[in-house]
Structure formats: structure tokens, C-alpha cells
Amino acid sequence: MRISVELAGDAMRFRKPEETFASKVAVVTCILVGMLASRNRLRRSGTTSRDPERTRGRLLRAAFQEMHRSGFRNADLDAILARAGVTKGALYYHFDNKEALGHAVVDEVIASNLHQKRVQPLRNAKNPSTFLSASFSPNR
């Protein structure tokens, strides 16, 4: 006994064969082959696979920019997601909530910026006290 397949929206219906069995199978085959071809084209065109570290970094940078612009309370998660170019699922994969995202921004982004702009130059300075007084003078 043969069964033909008809596509109906997102669901598939199975029924007994008639004269159109070959055309139904051909349509299904073409769709599947077309789906595979488009998937391969995307991979060849330079899109990369999922990279959780890169996604987390994009979220942190976008959150820092939004929080710097609007403050923590007024920071809009949808604006952060749009700026980072990720989904809400990706946000909640990396962070439990907005508060956890805020803590990560402070711990990873702000601390890193502070280290690069203040601590590292202080370590490389010949006279740290001169560097500190120049760094915090009102003219700077």
C-alpha cells in the first residue's frame, strides 16, 4: 500500500494514493532539496555557527551602552537586544535576569575599562604619584 503526502500549511496530511501520487512526492522532494540548498548557501556565504562567547560579549557591550545612555533602571531590554542583534532567548541563556546582566556589565565591562584606563597606565608610570595627581586634576 502506498501513501501520498500533501502539504497543508505547517502540517502534513497522509492519504491513500490517487493519480497525483508522483506529483505530490516530487513537490515534497523539491521542497526538501530546496531547503538544503538554501541552508548550504547560507553557510558558504560567511555566516558562522553559534558562538556563545561572542554573543555574551555583544550583549554586555550593548547593555553597557544602553545603561550608560539611560541608566540601569530605565535601560530597555528590547533596545539592548536590538543593539546586540540577538534574541531574548540568548539573553536569558547567558543571564538569569536584568539584575544579573547589570552585575556582569559592572564586573566585566566597567572593571575592564577601569583597568585599561587607570590601573595599567599607573603600573607603567615612572612616578605613580605624579601620574595620579595629573589624572585627577580638575584641568584634565
Return the percentage of the chain with pLDDT > 90, whole number.
44
pLDDT at res. 106: 96
Per-residue CA distances from 56 to 17, 84, 99 (Å) = 52, 9, 15
Q: Look up the pTM and report it.
A: 0.58
Q: How confident is the model at residue 140 (pLDDT cuts 50, 70, 90)?
A: low
**Residue 4's beta-bridge partner residues?**
15
What confidence tens digit (pLDDT) does each residue in 11-30 have?
445 455 554 545 454 444 44
| CA separation for the pair 2, 16 (Å, rounded) | 7
Question: How many other C-beta atoms can be found within 10 angstroms of the C-beta atom of residue 79?
Answer: 16
Whether 98 has a pLDDT exceeding 60, the answer reads: yes
The more confident residue out of 123 and 28 is: 123
- pLDDT at position 4 is 47
Taken in order of first residue, the domains within the chain and their CATH numbers are: 4-44 (no CATH), 52-135 (1.10.357.10)
* pLDDT per position as a tens digit, 99-121: 999 999 999 999 999 888 888 88
pLDDT higher than threshold 70 for residue 55: yes
Find how far residue 120's CA is from the centre of its chain.
30
Q: What is the pLDDT of residue 132?
A: 78
